Structure 1
């Protein structure tokens, strides 16, 4: 049984924008996330998005992967919006 928090060192680049039931959400999808996390459930993490620290949860997409929501305040700080790519670095799993 893994105890949390657990140190992580995983980086991926993805565009902002995940199609959820026909709507584009301001999220980034992590490829291979269910295998990486070992679950299809929500997973809380500490990470950076383009170097900006975030503490949030990866939510299941319903299609076998997870997505991380990027709120308007964070997108404005990054100068990024739907369609722009960001670099996500996972540092710690919190749940």
Structure 2
């Protein structure tokens, strides 16, 4: 069984974040004001760049307003950062759905 790909919507949202290591995910970024930018507090599939490196992932609701972007080891390796407090520039270029 195959499923149709979700259509994407263009987005141009930028966030300056620092890596956090607390909460539901061992390593993540908290995107301040993301609920307002995305128009939802639900999980959202996005694509864009982290420090200029392309990525695609699901933003998870924090339960407090902003979304969290879980940073898997592969993403940390791609941007060369994984320590808490390291700054990361996030550009969301599109969202699914």
Same fold (TM over 0.5): yes
Following superposition, the deviation at residue 18 of structure 1 comes to: 5.2
Instruction: Give the structure 2 partner of residue 87 of structure 1.
Output: 89
Given the two structures, how large is their TM-score scaled by the length of structure 2?
Answer: 0.83
Residue 14 of structure 1, aligned match among 9, 17, 20:
17
Structure 1 unaligned residues grouped into runs of 5+: none
Secondary structure of residue in 1 paired with 2:65: coil
Equivalent residues, number: 91
Poorly superposed stretches of 4+, deviation over 3 Å: none
Instruction: Give the structure 2 partner of residue 25 of structure 1.
Output: 26
1:1-95 equivalences under 5 Å are 4-17=7-20, 19-20=22-23, 25-81=26-82, 82-95=84-97
Structure 2 unaligned residues grouped into runs of 5+: 1-5
Alpha-carbon distance in 1 for matches of 2:38, 2:85: 25
Alpha-carbon distance in 1 for matches of 2:50, 2:42: 21
Given the two structures, how large is their TM-score scaled by the length of structure 1?
Answer: 0.85
**Root-mean-square deviation (CA), in Å?**
1.8
